[in-house]
């Protein structure tokens, strides 16, 4: 999980970031600040991976703020003034969001940050037998043993569970397979992940679960064959 803070002297701008963060499992917003000096104090004691930072603020600008930091987290500048983009990138900002920005543009910036951070920041609860995903502004607990299968739909996934409607979450198939125990789940198609315990049979590149037939993609066929060949 990417731990982040947001700094902006406009409360409405912070509300936008709060809303967008609530709609993705990639980040955890640990605090927001309208006062940049308070944020500096917070960063001295709290590990932070990412800062959403306005440039035009009273007392200290966003550019000055970054220069004042010793251990610099990743930075995404958020501002209404596009002319500062070059200066922002000179300070090694990952991205530069011009207000008002859309959720899609917000997500593109986050994915750029994610590529620069170590895999250890991926949330992992495999030892506990469950994980959490963000769905409809809530964090939903998913027990591994309850998963019937997972379907990928562009930038979203659908987690199918017994006796309930599927849980829809905005995340990639790669990010979800990385969070699942490798000895319990297998990706068998660009759009499907299946729990090994629920496989009833495999025939003609089709996997048969209790109530669903799943295709095996060409890219994943050798992986399925290797699993079948295991003693």
Q: For the stretch 33-65, what's the b/e string if a residue is b when 16 or more beta carbons lie within 10 angstroms of its beta carbon?
A: bbebeebeeebeeeebbbbbbbbebeebbbbeb
110 and 152 belong to one structural domain = no
Average pLDDT over residues 166-195: 91
> For residue 8, how far is the Cα from the chain centroid?
23
CATH of the domain at 37: 3.40.50.2300
Burial class (CB in 10 A: 0-12, 13-18, 19+), 122: middle
24 and 135 belong to one structural domain = no
Which one of 121, 150, 176 terminates a domain?
121
List, for residues 24-47, the tens digit of each pLDDT value: 777 889 999 999 889 989 998 888
Which one of 69, 93, 121 terminates a domain?
121
Domain of residue 42, residue span: 2-121
44 and 79 belong to one structural domain = yes
> For residue 174, how far is the Cα from the chain centroid?
11
CATH of the domain at 187: 2.40.50.1020
| pTM check: above 0.75 | no
Residue 51 CA: distances (Å) to CA of 3, 4, 36, 62, 157 = 9, 6, 11, 10, 27
Mean pLDDT over all residues of the chain? 85
List, for residues 77-112, the tens digit of each pLDDT value: 988 876 654 554 566 788 989 989 999 899 889 888
What's the total number of domains in the chain? Answer: 2
53 and 146 belong to one structural domain = no
* 8 A C-beta contact, residue 171 and residue 133: yes
* 8 A C-beta contact, residue 50 and residue 32: no
153 and 220 belong to one structural domain = yes
**Res 164: pLDDT:** 85
């Amino acid at each position: 999980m990417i731990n982040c803070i947001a700094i902006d002297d406009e409360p409405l701008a912070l509300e936008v970031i709060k809303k967008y963060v609530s709609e993705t499992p990639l980040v955890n917003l640990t605090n927001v600040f309208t006062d940049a000096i308070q944020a500096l104090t917070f960063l001295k004691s709290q590990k932070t991976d990412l800062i959403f930072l306005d440039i035009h603020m009273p007392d200290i600008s966003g550019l000055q703020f970054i220069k004042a930091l010793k251990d610099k987290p990743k930075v995404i500048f958020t501002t209404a003034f596009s002319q500062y983009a070059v200066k922002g990138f000179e300070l090694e900002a990952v991205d530069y969001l011009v207000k008002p920005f859309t959720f899609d543009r917000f997500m593109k910036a986050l994915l750029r940050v994610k590529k620069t951070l170590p895999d250890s920041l991926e949330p992992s609860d495999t030892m506990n037998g469950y994980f959490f995903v963000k769905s409809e502004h809530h964090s939903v607990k998913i027990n591994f043993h309850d998963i019937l299968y997972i379907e990928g739909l562009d930038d979203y996934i659908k987690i199918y569970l017994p006796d309930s409607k599927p849980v829809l979450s905005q995340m990639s198939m790669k990010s979800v397979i990385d969070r699942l125990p490798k000895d319990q789940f297998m990706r068998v198609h660009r759009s499907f992940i299946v729990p090994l315990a629920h496989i009833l049979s495999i025939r003609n590149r089709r996997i048969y679960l209790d109530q669903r037939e799943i295709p095996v993609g060409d890219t994943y066929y050798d992986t399925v064959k290797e699993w079948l060949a295991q003693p």
